[in-house]
Structure 1
Amino acid sequence: MNRSLTLKLGAIALLILLLMIPLLLINGIINDRQRLRDGVLEDIARSSSYSQQLSGPIMVVPYRKVVRIWKTNEKTNKRYQETGEERGHLYFLPERFELDGKVQTELRSRGIYEARLYHADNHISGLFSIPAQLGIKEDFADYQFDQAFLTIGISDIRGIENALKLDLNGQSLDFEPGTQLGWLGEGAHVMLPALDRHKGAELAFAFDLRLQGTGQLQVTPVGKTNKVQLAANWPHPSFIGNYLPAQREVTGTGFTANWQTSFFSTNLEEALTNCLTSDRCDEFKSRSFGVSFIDPVDQYLKSDRAIKYALLFIVLTFAGFFLFEVLKSLAVHPVQYALVGVALAFFYLLLLSLSEHIGFALAYLLSAGGCVLLIGFYVCHVLRSVRHGLSFSAGLAALYGLLYGLLSAEDYALLMGSLLLFGLLGVFMVLTRKLDWYGIGQKSAKPLVFDMGAVE
């Protein structure tokens, strides 16, 4: 390879490295704007309510138990009995738990940023089956019981939008703030009427809970059998948690989803026991499922993904310039390479700034269209041919179209990118198959003159 070709390739490589500096700066701007947006969304959630998780209802019976301990007098070697008192709670999970939720979403704006809030109208119902003597196998006379209560954990009680009333076997009871259980966190409870603890009982319950939140809505399936149905006007749900819906339907206007679980799949009794005996309550609270109302891919994530392909764009564009040089015996100055590279870098800055105001798809169209027109106009004069300039612009527009396809089809991005690179390599090899690389520098290159009359 002759000296001039080596110098030209070295200059192009150096330009590519230098162009990485503005691209890194633009990537930093993307991250800064994303952090700023996340901070604004956090402020909106702080002033309204955060993500919500429902845990319950659980029936709780406080008790005091007489404890008898036999001890031995060391001096007389006689045994004697001491009595003490043990305090605790008996916990009962529902035999059946059902939740029917209707969710409406809305946007709250602060400046140019928007947060998506939801309002969930939930009807919660089910059945408690209380065994005789509360399931105690020991001497029942050793126990004294305080008033039982029903409790439900709500992760952010600021989102409660209605007065909670419990329908218990046809009797209406008012909820009170607090769960009365430290490990369950925030929520509400309702004191239950006196029960005949010697006999078993079935307690049918129902109540309505209107709940506001941001981001996510999750439910802990506390029943032995659970049926949860959610319907919302959000067309981009992301189902989260340990259990996926048994049935779901997603349309352009919303979704419906149904979950059905049982104690065999949740093993929630063991998780509750571990929580009470070893303070490992994260396992109990993590056995939940629900839906996320956050936009799965926003403009910042798409812009960040787009800039990852910037190096590929610059290399392919410069390769196109280089092909015109060697095939048409044109001399393209490194400054002209640099100006086109800077125009390519500006595409990402335009994309970021426009997408904050008009949405990603339209911002991409305008940014790509502007860059293609600018570079096409410039290349027509650089290559001294409208036909060559239009061909180059068409290829650049095709690259932008392929990039948008890569961003939209994340699951197939690797496949599409691999096929694209292989295809472009094949085109480059076909076009240069008869090229005398040793004779490139010996050919007289046509000088470039910025003469408007030279354009065909």
Structure 2
Amino acid sequence: MNRSLAIKLGAIALLMLLLLVPLMMIDGVISERQRLRDGVLEDIARSSSYSQQLNGPLLVVPYRQTVREWKTDAKGERYQQTSEVSGRLYFLPERFELDGKVQTELRARGIYEARLFHANNQISGSFALPLQLGITEDFADYRFDEPYLALGISDIRGIENALTLHVGSQNLEFRPGTQVSWLGDGVHVNLPRVDGREEQHIEFDFDLALQGTGQLQVLPVGKTSNIHLAADWPNPSFIGNYLPVRREVTDQGFNAHWQTSFFSTNLSEALNNCLATTHCDGFKSRSFGVSFIEPVDQYLKSDRAIKYALLFIALTFAGFFLFEVLKRLAVHPVQYALVGVALAVFYLLLLSLSEHLGFGLAYLLSAGACVALLGFYVCHVLRSLTHGLGFGIGFAALYGLLYGLLSAEDYALLMGSLLLFSLLGVFMVLTRKLDWYGIGQGKPVEALNVDGGAVHE
């Protein structure tokens, strides 16, 4: 290979490696700003309420059991000793329904915004208590205390209304705490006593206004559960173990409906395992819901964009180099470096503007500024207005392609692969008759004209 060509290629490669330094610094700035934003969101949630998950309601029946044991004294005579043990019976709803209307609200702190939600939930259902409460042996030895309904709420600071349970003609007031340690924070309400001598059917309903940040999840505790959520949030991310059976998402918001049964949730067995082992994560993890967090924010988009930075710089340098070898016009390494730095600064400009203007407008302004600057500079580097405008149009096309890659998440890899292959094909076609050994030795350089024939300069 010609020595001057090798030096030129080596200098370009070294410049690309050196440009990795500012690119890595800008990537670090993106991560730092993202951590700062997350810290502010955490602080706002700490001051209001965190993500919310509803666990329950469950019907809890405390009991005292008389236990009789036969023992033998020192004289060998048998006698009966009685003792009393206490425990609880837990019942899941036969039917559980929740109808939630959610409104979102922005809370700002500086340039950062957190999205809170206010969910007005109408909760209803029924409990079916079996004969003798499912106790098959020594039922006469059981004494039942006042039962209560327990509802777990992950962050009770978000409760926005006075809770009243409607059972038949009775209105019962909720009290703080679930009285069930493994259920976590929440509320409970005492119910009329049950004796278990006959089957009972308890219908209930209550309204729950709940505030939270980030996510709203529901545990489908019913033998059959029907959950409906409607909100003014147009970018929902459905999370958890079950997706909605029906959903409708528009620019004004979404409607989603979930339907589950014990066959799909196996929640009854999960409850038994929870009571037997005191490890209840498996019980609570069978939840589902919706996230009110922006799925792709400006920091994630900026981070995605900077991953293509080295590709952009390589394509630009390849264009300059191709112009050099075809037009025999030398471009100094310093000029390569200045163009590369301008391409790198684009990402810093994009990040700073997107924090105030939104990603789309910030991208348009940043790309427009960089295209104008690079087009103006290249006009003087190549000493040709026509060639400078051509490079400017090329820069604009590259930025347009980058925005398309960022917008098409599912097809980004395919589009990127096709772009690289196409550009490689263009480079190979334009240089297919180029005498690489003759570059720098004064030999004529062959290139293709528009007719497809060779011309000599």
TM-score (norm 2): 0.96
Residue of structure 2 in register with 1:42 after alignment: 42
2:252 aligned counterpart, secondary structure:
coil
Q: Percent identity?
A: 76
Residue of structure 2 in register with 1:169 after alignment: 168
Residue of structure 1 in register with 2:55 after alignment: 55
CA distance in 1, matches of 2:77, 2:382: 112
Residue of structure 2 in register with 1:317 after alignment: 316
Q: Residue deviations 1:352-408, cap 9 Å, x none?
A: 000000000110111111111100100011011111111111111111111111111
Residue of structure 1 in register with 2:454 after alignment: none
* 1:146-165 matched pairs, under 5 angstroms: 146-165=145-164
Q: Counterpart amino acid of 2:274?
A: C
Out of 131-140 and 12-21, give the one that drifted further.
Answer: 131-140
2:329 aligned counterpart, secondary structure:
coil
1:287 aligned counterpart, secondary structure:
coil
Aligned-pair CA distance for 1:83: 2.2
Aligned-pair CA distance for 1:279: 1.1
CA distance in 2, matches of 1:225, 1:298: 37
- The alignment status of 1:262 with 2:261, answered yes or no, reads yes
Residue of structure 2 in register with 1:351 after alignment: 350
Aligned-pair CA distance for 1:194: 2.2
2:49 aligned counterpart, secondary structure:
coil
Aligned-pair CA distance for 1:85: 1.9
Residue of structure 1 in register with 2:67 after alignment: 67
TM-score (norm 1): 0.96
Residue of structure 2 in register with 1:394 after alignment: 393
CA distance in 2, matches of 1:370, 1:3: 38
Aligned-pair CA distance for 1:111: 0.1
Aligned-pair CA distance for 1:280: 1.3
Q: Counterpart amino acid of 1:116?
A: R
* 1:234-383 matched pairs, under 5 angstroms: 234-383=233-382
- Does the 8 Å CA contact 2:145/2:193 hold for their aligned counterparts? no
Q: Name structure 1 gaps, 5 residues minimum.
A: 446-456
- The alignment status of 1:19 with 2:37, answered yes or no, reads no
CA distance in 1, matches of 2:120, 2:442: 78
Residue of structure 2 in register with 1:123 after alignment: 122
CA distance in 2, matches of 1:12, 1:149: 76
1:410 aligned counterpart, secondary structure:
coil
How has the CA–CA distance of structure 1 residues 444 and 377 changed in structure 2, closer, same or farther, with 3 Å as cutoff? farther
CA distance in 2, matches of 1:137, 1:327: 94
2:221 aligned counterpart, secondary structure:
coil
Aligned-pair CA distance for 1:66: 1.2
Q: Residue deviations 1:114-169, cap 9 Å, x none?
A: 00000000000011111121111111111111100011000000000000000001
CA distance in 2, matches of 1:439, 1:110: 63
- Does the 8 Å CA contact 2:405/2:415 hold for their aligned counterparts? yes
Q: Residue deviations 1:233-272, cap 9 Å, x none?
A: 0000000000000000000110000000000000101111
CA distance in 2, matches of 1:443, 1:377: 31
Aligned-pair CA distance for 1:82: 2.6
- Does the 8 Å CA contact 1:152/1:187 hold for their aligned counterparts? yes
- Does the 8 Å CA contact 2:100/2:122 hold for their aligned counterparts? yes
Q: Residue deviations 1:5-51, cap 9 Å, x none?
A: 00000000000000000000000000000000000000000000000
Residue of structure 2 in register with 1:85 after alignment: 84
- Does the 8 Å CA contact 2:144/2:194 hold for their aligned counterparts? no
RMSD between aligned residues? 1.2
Q: Counterpart amino acid of 2:104?
A: T
* 1:2-13 matched pairs, under 5 angstroms: 2-13=2-13
Q: Residue deviations 1:326-350, cap 9 Å, x none?
A: 0100100000000000000000000
CA distance in 2, matches of 1:178, 1:6: 76
